[in-house]
Amino acid sequence: MTQSFDFGGLEATPGSYLAAARQIENDPSLDAKQINVAVVSTYTAAVIRPYLVVESARRDLAVVPTFGPYGQLEQQLLDPDSVIYASNPDVIVIATRIEDMAEDLSGRLATLSSSEVDEILGELDQRFGNLLESARKHSAGHILVFNFSPPRLTSMGLAGPMSEHPASSVVERANSIIAKACKNISSATVFEYGRVVLETGLDSWTDARLEHLGRIPFSFQAQMNLGKALSRYLSAIFFTPHKCLVVDLDNTLWGGVIGEDGLGGIALGEDYPGNVYKEFQRQLVALKDRGVLLAINSKNDEPDVTEVFERHPDMVLGLDDFAATRINWTDKASNIRSIAEELNIGVDALAFFDDNPVEREWIRANAPEVAVIEVPPDPENYAMALQDSEVFDHLVVVAEDLERAGVYQTEKRRTKLRATHASVADFIRDLDVKVTIGAVNDETMPRVVQLISKTNQFNLTGRRHTAAEIEEIVSLNGGIALWTRSTDRFGDNGLVGVAIAIPDSPTEWRIDSFLMSCRVLGRGVESALLSSLAQQVADKDGKQLIGEYVITKKNGMARAFFEGEGFNPRDEEGHYWEHALDGSSLPAPDFVTINTSET
């Protein structure tokens, strides 16, 4: 039977935590994973016990702590019979501080030469190396090593930052040593003590009385925050982090409702309130960068949303950043399950972020495996709420994590392409497309010029040639200008496409213009036209065909055309593409019948 401690009555006081810890430790019926945590330290760490126990219970961990006597790192970790190893630890915590580990580095920086600093840091390196190696040898438990915060007392006063060895850089070097020592040992990670102290503030962290009465470097506030931070790390050690963040859109990625407020009415930008949403989007990008998948679950009309992603200048996220999207009016629990299915991960690997408390409650009730993040009412607190939610706590990020979003994105494109091709091929075979292609002449020129002037979307370069220019290209430059008509079983579509190629050299031909009426796109007509163009260029001894793409306001849909036709990029911008002309290298689709017009 699942039971947990009632945290409702817990107050942020020593008495409340002590009583709660006692209750938790004495109740074996509580449903939590039991873990033995052994702490070795250079100071009295046992004072954090109640906070560690209670905060861990909050994270479904029943921690049984053992504290070694202070200042006995070697005695405890080098001796296989020490109380630390006798406790059969699942986690060994090594809690030290720079004041204890390298007194001169905190107190005598003014008098130390560079080589002396190096020497002390070298000793520190050696010492951490030995301690960790020994801990690894005598225990299979995870090793968690505190790094250093800046010392409370400065040795150089205001002159410190410009001195030869600023305390901050010495601490940084020492922390690199600690990180390196952890990397050298399996299942050893850094506990970022320095940051936990920073978040609380050095002044609030320390209590001079406790320091001197009991060698306790923690104020009450620090004890509580340290207990929280440590249990967060323990949770990250023992529980798998979530894999995907599912977000709402309206009042989550931007302020307002796109369906009602429109593109110009939503809040997103550099000033309040738009800047809070922009910050939140940036944080999602950072999550994605370290391997967390993003997904959209939004009640909206998809075109409205697409418009925001494609046209709003302050959008940080692009649709490509999302591994899955559900933009519809289906209930969000059904959507979230189908997202898990699409991404091939468990529903319990998803976390949900939605400003609407009703939607959060709906997910809690209908998809209880999902981690529902408690979203604060004021959007300026979204970013911190996400960070504090702990659902994406990874102790290490590996190369695969950094590549994950890209892998999913590629797979998404592949799937899409496959799906489209399968259906389009069937569809087109059914259509019985017939294409006629011919050289532009007096008879076809008016329609060619008209098509050039009004085709915006599938127009690779957007060049608006006049009749005179086209005649010049053909007669003076020796270029090729083709038109195409298409018919299918539903009727004649008329003259729907134009292609113009110019020889930049006898062997290298550039496609100066390529355009097609949208209503026939995706039926092989554009491929047939390109194929004919390539054939005619090859007939004139052209060896290389260069595809040119000039981005305009409306031709985004044509961006991938040359890539799809097997051209190779010539530059990083996707501006120039090339294809070698060696016989049958650009075949027309087999389902299109091509006639060549002689007139």
Partner 1 sequence: MGSQRITDLMVQVFGVNAKDLSEQSSPDTIEEWDSMSHINLILALEREFQVKFTAQESVEMLSVKLVELTLSEKGVDLA
Q: Residue 483: count other Cβ atoms within 10 Å of its Cβ.
A: 23
Tell whether residue 39 is a contact of partner 1 (CB under 8 A): no
User: Residue 53 interacts with partner 1 (CB under 8 A)?
Assistant: no
Contact set for partner 1, span 202-221 (CB under 8 A): 208-210, 212-214, 216, 220
**CB of 46 within 8 A of CB of 67?**
yes
Q: Is 166 in the site for partner 1 (CB under 8 A)?
A: no
Residue range at the interface with partner 1 (CB under 8 A); choices 8-16, 70-78, 134-142, 433-441: 8-16
Q: Tell me the C-alpha distance between 408 and 320, whole Å.
A: 10
Euclidean distance between CA atoms 577 and 569, whole angstroms: 4
Residue 369 in tokens: 């495996």
Q: How far is the CB of 39 from partner 1 (least distance, A)?
A: 14
Residue 531 touches partner 1, criterion: CB under 8 A: no
In this chain, which stretch among 17-25, 53-61, 311-319, 403-411 interacts with partner 1, using CB under 8 A?
Answer: 17-25
Instruction: Write the burial class of residue 451 (CB in 10 Å: 0-12 exposed, 13-18 middle, 19+ buried).
Output: buried
For residues 208 and 468, which CB has a smaller minimum distance to partner 1 in the complex?
Answer: 208
Pick the piece of the chain touching partner 1 (CB under 8 A) from 7-15, 83-91, 434-442, 450-458: 7-15
Q: Is 57 in the site for partner 1 (CB under 8 A)?
A: no
User: Rule CB under 8 A: which of 217-276 touch partner 1?
Assistant: 220
Token pair in block for residue 598: 């002689």
The yes or no reply on residue 316 touching partner 1 (CB under 8 A) is no
Nearest of 460, 584, 599 to residue 521 by alpha carbon: 460
Handedness of CA 464, 468, 469, 474 (dihedral sign): positive
Beta bridge partners of 41: 95
> Distance (Å, rounded) from C-alpha 326 to C-alpha 31?
36
Query: Does residue 41 bind partner 1 (CB under 8 A)?
Result: no
What's the closest the beta carbon of residue 19 comes to partner 1, in angstroms?
Answer: 5
Residues 575 and 562: their CA atoms lie apart, in Å, by 10
294 binds partner 1 (CB under 8 A): no
CB of 484 within 8 A of CB of 449? no
Q: How far is the CB of 214 from partner 1 (least distance, A)?
A: 5
The nearest distance, CB 28 to partner 1, in angstroms, is 17
Rule CB under 8 A: is residue 69 a binding residue for partner 1?
no
Between 44 and 527, name the residue whose CB sits nearer to partner 1.
44
Of 44, 147, 149, 235, the one binding partner 1 (CB under 8 A) is 44
10 binding partner 1? (CB under 8 A): no
Across 47-158, the runs of DSSP E, i.e. the strands, are: 61-67, 91-95, 142-146
Is residue 141 within a helix (H) or strand (E), and if so which, with residue range? none
Binding of partner 1 by 48 (CB under 8 A)? no
Minimum Å distance from CB 44 to partner 1? 8
> What is the closest distance, in whole angstroms, from the C-beta atom of residue 14 to partner 1 in the complex?
4
Q: By CB under 8 A, is residue 47 in contact with partner 1?
A: yes
The 8-class DSSP code of residue 567 comes to P
Nearest distance in Å: CB 17, partner 1: 9
Q: How many residues does the chain have?
A: 599
| Radius of gyration, CA atoms only, the chain | 33
d(CA 384, CA 483): 59
Taking the C-alpha atoms of residue 512 and residue 207, their distance in angstroms, rounded to an integer, is 75
State CA 56 to chain mean position distance.
28
**Under the criterion CB under 8 A, does residue 8 sit at the interface with partner 1?**
no
Q: Which stretch binds partner 1 (CB under 8 A): 14-22, 244-252, 379-387, 447-455?
A: 14-22
Under the binding rule (CB under 8 A), the answer on residue 14 touching partner 1 is yes
Minimum CB–partner distance for residue 193 and partner 1 (Å): 21
Question: What is the rounded CA–CA span in Å between residue 216 and residue 219?
Answer: 8
Query: Is residue 153 close enough to count as binding partner 1 by CB under 8 A?
Result: no
- Could you tell me whether strands 244-247 and 350-353 are parallel, antiparallel, or unpaired per DSSP bridges? parallel
315 contacts partner 1 (rule: CB under 8 A): no
The verdict on 1 binding partner 1 (CB under 8 A) reads: no
Q: Does the bond joining 151 to the residue before it have cis omega, within 30 degrees of 0?
A: no
What is the nearest approach in angstroms of partner 1 to the Cβ of residue 308?
49
Distances (CA, A) of 157 to 153, 202, 217, 426, 446: 9, 16, 21, 78, 83
> Which of 10, 16, 72, 173 forms a contact with partner 1 (CB under 8 A)?
16
| 148 and 97 Cβ atoms separated by less than 8 Å | yes
Cβ-based neighbours of 526, under 8 Å, separated by 6 or more: 458, 497, 514, 516, 561
- Closest contact distance (angstroms) between CB of 46 and partner 1 is 6
Which residue among 35, 46, 339, 351 contacts partner 1 (CB under 8 A)? 46
Rule CB under 8 A: say whether 9 interacts with partner 1.
Answer: no
How many residues sit in the footprint of partner 1 (CB under 8 A)? 18
Minimum distance from residue 367 beta carbon to partner 1 (Å): 40
Closer to partner 1 by Cβ: residue 57 or 546: 57
3-class SS letters over 60-83: CEEEEEEECCCCCHHHHHHCCCCH
Pick one of 2, 6, 9, 15: the residue that binds partner 1 (CB under 8 A).
Answer: 15
Of 3, 4, 13, 477, the one binding partner 1 (CB under 8 A) is 13
Binding interface with partner 1 (CB under 8 A)? 13-16, 18-19, 22, 44, 46-47, 208-210, 212-214, 216, 220
